[in-house]
Amino acid sequence: MSDIKDIKDMNAKELLGYYQSKLDEEARQAKKEGKLVCWSASVAPPEFCVTMDIAMVYPETHAAGIGARKGAPDMLEVADKKGYNIDTCSYARVNLGYMELLMEKARTGVTPEKLANSPAADIPLPDIVITCNNICNTLLKWYENIAVELDIPCIVIDVPFNHTMPIPQYSKDYIADQFEEAIRILEETTGKKFDYDKFLEVQKQTQRSVAQWNRLAALASHKPSPLNGFDLFSFMALIVCARSLDYSEKTFKKFADELEENLKNEIYAFKGNEKTRITWEGIAVWPYLGHTFKGLKNQGSLMTGSAYPGLWNLEYTPGDMSSMAEAYTRIYINTCLDNKVKVLGDVISNGKCDGILYHQNRSCKLMSLLNYETAEMLQEENGLPYVSFDGDQTDPRNFAPAQFDTRIQALDEMMNENLEAK
Q: What confidence score (pLDDT) does residue 40 get?
A: 98
DSSP 155: E
Ranges of each domain in the chain: 14-195, 199-209+217-421
pLDDT (tens digit per residue) in 337-391 = 999 999 999 999 999 999 999 999 998 887 888 899 999 999 999 999 999 999 9
Q: What percent of the chain has pLDDT over 70?
A: 99
Identify the residue with better confidence: 408 or 272.
Answer: 408
* Rounded Cα–Cα distance for residues 149 and 355 (Å): 45
What does the pLDDT look like over 229-286, one tens digit per residue?
A: 999 999 999 999 999 999 999 999 999 999 999 999 999 999 878 999 999 999 999 9
- Which ranges of 299-350 does DSSP label H, i.e. alpha helix? 321-329, 337-350
CATH code that applies to domain 199-209+217-421 = 3.40.50.11900
Contact 58, 65 (CB under 8 A): no
pLDDT of amino acid 365? 80
**What is the average pLDDT across 167-180?**
98
Look at residue 2 in the predicted model and tell me its pLDDT: 40
In CATH, 14-195 is 3.40.50.11890: yes
Do 199-209+217-421 and 14-195 fall under one CATH topology?
Answer: yes
Q: What is the pLDDT of residue 113?
A: 97
pLDDT of residue 73: 98
Pick from 379, 189, 410: nearest CA to 301 = 410
Q: Could you read off the pLDDT of 50-87 as tens digits, one per residue?
A: 999 999 999 999 999 999 999 999 999 999 999 999 88
405 contacts 295 by C-beta, under 8 angstroms: yes
Residue 1 has pLDDT above 60, yes or no: no
As a whole number of angstroms, the distance between CA 133 and CA 52 comes to 23
Q: Is the pLDDT reported for residue 4 higher than 60?
A: no
Question: Which residues, 6 or more positions from 391, have their beta carbon under 8 angstroms from its beta carbon?
Answer: 282, 285, 288, 359, 360, 361, 362, 398, 399, 404
